A and B are shown apart, each in its own frame.
Chain A
């Protein structure tokens, strides 16, 4: 399949181009106008859209079309698709809804369209989707209300509305996207095709999936198993509807939820239970290495350390003699002398520096989390700078839990995250992330 023209088109035709306020068509055009691609507006009922001359049909367009985006009402989709099949195109996105999601009649029409495009060897995204966004090629071929920042996370979602909220949230966060794909009804390309593509995509470091249902679980499982990149999965619709009669314990115990979770685990992917977790973990995987072995925790607050340890509940090796001897020289006399390493509430930046050095130098500590509770003498920005400096010298993944939300904290967190050290403002969130980074815990 030729995906290149879907994600990096030079010429784009919008069929059903309108500038009516609050319309889907206008939303797409507004996004596309920012992308500086060569655009062709097709609309037989209007001479101009956004002040630009329109074409009555695709056949009037002389140039080659890389990407065609169809926004016309459902009943007109088929004839547009037939024209496209004749003219040829690099790829088609059908935004229009009213197909398989509405029932048998809609499914039939969807199948017809799919067949026409298949014969013409034109890859199809949708129908009934939000579109695709490729920040690196400055393409927003969707009616999302905003364009996300570029980054390393590929988001592939079976819900379009969720995508909009995720993008909106990401605007005030430090992570960004290599691609955002709304799967829609997946008449042509489906979630598994996109997963395969994202695994080969050079801009993508981690793949975040929102899945509600699959057509072929086995194919998904086989592809997921072969995926080289980290995949984080949020599965919606886990509660089972009407259960069939079962004759065995296994039949009654092996529900959709259990088997789906087992498949994810067996394939080496990470399952999460909320949108927050999806991006907490994706962000960390995009920025930090995974590790295999023990974890170390540095904290300037006992309580926060306990909350982290409760949630982490996995291998945290003791500090060895050399580490303790080194720390004795630099710490407050009542420091914890153990892992979690409590460097005491009055810790200034020098203590953070020595504590982190000690953790980095202890061989069996492979991943590190650093908690900072805000005390009167705490200097978040200075602490952040020290962590960034030491991170440059080690391959061990480091995450931070700088708690609080004041300007002081936000500045420090932004600096950390600009330097690819992910921060979480709750010990539990940090613990879940560090565990996901630990290959041994999966």
Chain B
């Protein structure tokens, strides 16, 4: 079973996992009010426990720059069936990463790290460790990524803060070890030199 936004957020908060400012809204008015609180540019997306990949059903609208665009986005997204509401989120900045975890039949809790985004399953540029992991494990997980160079800054993209990734990997390792979770995706995560923030999370129990 896939958890809804509120339950997902509750578990992530318990482990101090940094989520981009995000609100689940139930009306256009609420969308606008929350959206203007956060400030543009924004992202609007559906919240649903039915779809594994939101982008495949056009469930994500990025780069909303003003109120008019936000209204249009809401009207469009709300037509999609089996949703629990619309998520209004601050647009993330930086490189897209993925951190995941699962409970393996043979080895128990496992943590994953990699280059994130929609192509994650195409490039498969990921590394794994058996949880719980130590700091040195987290560091070598980052080093193992083929595209590791982009973490140092690439073509105008800021370098990422590796200490923050290490910290987050250890928190996720702690979480998968302690919680009754089957699978976890934090994808994408936006990382730059100052921040690492979750844009989308999925917890399967």
Question: Which residues of A pack against B, CB within 8 Å?
Answer: 214, 216-218, 221, 246-254, 256, 258-263, 266
Contacts and interface: CB of A to CB of B under 8 A. Distances in A.
Contacts of B204: 247-248, 251
Contacts of B137: 266
Interface stretch (B26-34, B60-68, B105-113, B149-157): B105-113
Interface in B179-198: 182-185, 187
A254 B185 contact: no
Contacts of A247: 2, 52, 183, 202, 204
B130 A266 contact: yes
A196 to B, nearest CB: 18
Nearest to A214: B106
B102 interface: yes
Interface in B40-82: 52
Given A248-B184, A254-B112, A262-B110, A217 B129 contact: no
A262 B108 contact: no
A237 to B, nearest CB: 12
B93 interface: no
A263 B183 contact: no
Given A247-B2, A247-B202, A254-B128, A217 B185 contact: no
B135 interface: no
B88 interface: no
A2 to B, nearest CB: 30
A248 B129 contact: no
Given A259-B130, A262-B128, A266-B130, 14 more contacts: A217-B105, A217-B107, A247-B2, A247-B183, A248-B52, A249-B187, A250-B102, A252-B121, A254-B128, A256-B106, A258-B126, A259-B106, A259-B128, A262-B130
A247 B1 CA distance: 9
Nearest to B125: A253
A397 B129 CA distance: 30
B101 interface: yes
Given A217-B107, A259-B110, A262-B110, A251 B127 contact: no
Contacts of A214: 106
A260 B102 CA distance: 14
A221 B130 contact: yes
8 contacts: A218-B130, A221-B107, A249-B98, A249-B121, A250-B101, A253-B114, A254-B104, A266-B129
B202 A253 contact: no
